Amino acid sequence: MIVGDKTRLRAMERGDIPAFLRWFNDPDIRGYLSMVWPISEAQEERWFEAHLGNEGRRVFAVETAEGVHIGNIGLHDLDWKNRNAVAGIVIGEKAYWNRGYGSDALRTLLRFAFEELNLHRVSLRVFDFNERGIRCYEKVGFRHEARLRRNHFTQGGYVDELVMGILAEEWNAQESAA
């Protein structure tokens, strides 16, 4: 368990699969992710089993301090030579949007990434129309690094994808200033 101020990150369990199915079939949520196809329980079970054996990826369940499972957060493409990883987050329970749970979970993940995993850099990607996501990432300390033009097709058109990143030294500086 990795504990933040208003969230905690725990390992995923098989029992979480029904929640994933509900979230990842919800159009309001899928629109912000690169998931395209409707997803079945069987596919989600297979994904879960594959995740157990994947050393390059760690996904955690995000819980409120009261233990409500509200979303997922993870580090992907863990690269030890370059001390690099890519973060991803989804708050699947919409009642918890815009209340700082995502920011807190991300800060908690970054603390783990820099202070325990010894990473040098964490980056993420976000569609340019996801203003709520971008604002959250900026608030947490991610800087704008790149705009991948027309990188994703959705709702009948191409959209840009932004790359944002934060370095260990930037994390340390903002932690010691806090």
Binding site for another protein (CB under 8 A): 36, 81-84, 120-121, 123, 143-153, 158, 163, 165, 167
Tokens of 19: 């929640």
Answer positive or negative: Cα dihedral of 112, 115, 119, 123: positive
CB of 34 to another protein, least distance (A): 9
Residue 81: CB minimum distance to another protein, A: 6
Reported as type and span, the H/E element at residue 33 is none
Rounded CA-CA distance 50/26 in Å is 23
Nearer to another protein, 101 or 142 (CB): 142
**Shortest separation between residue 53's beta carbon and another protein, angstroms:** 20
CB of 167 to another protein, least distance (A): 6
Q: What are phi and psi of 126, to 5 degrees?
A: -150, 140
Indicate the residue among 60 and 114 with the shorter CB distance to another protein. 114
> Which is closer to another protein, CB of 58 or CB of 121?
121
Q: What's the closest the beta carbon of residue 84 comes to another protein, in angstroms?
A: 6
- Nearest residue (CB) to another protein, 52 versus 155: 155
CA-based nearest residue to 91, from 72, 106, 104, 109: 72
Residue with tokens 């932004």: 162
Q: Give the span between the Cα atoms of 44 and 47, in whole angstroms.
A: 5
172 CB contacts (<8 Å, ≥6 apart)? 114
What are the structure tokens assigned to 77, written together? Answer: 């493409």
Cβ-based nearer residue to another protein, 69 or 121: 121
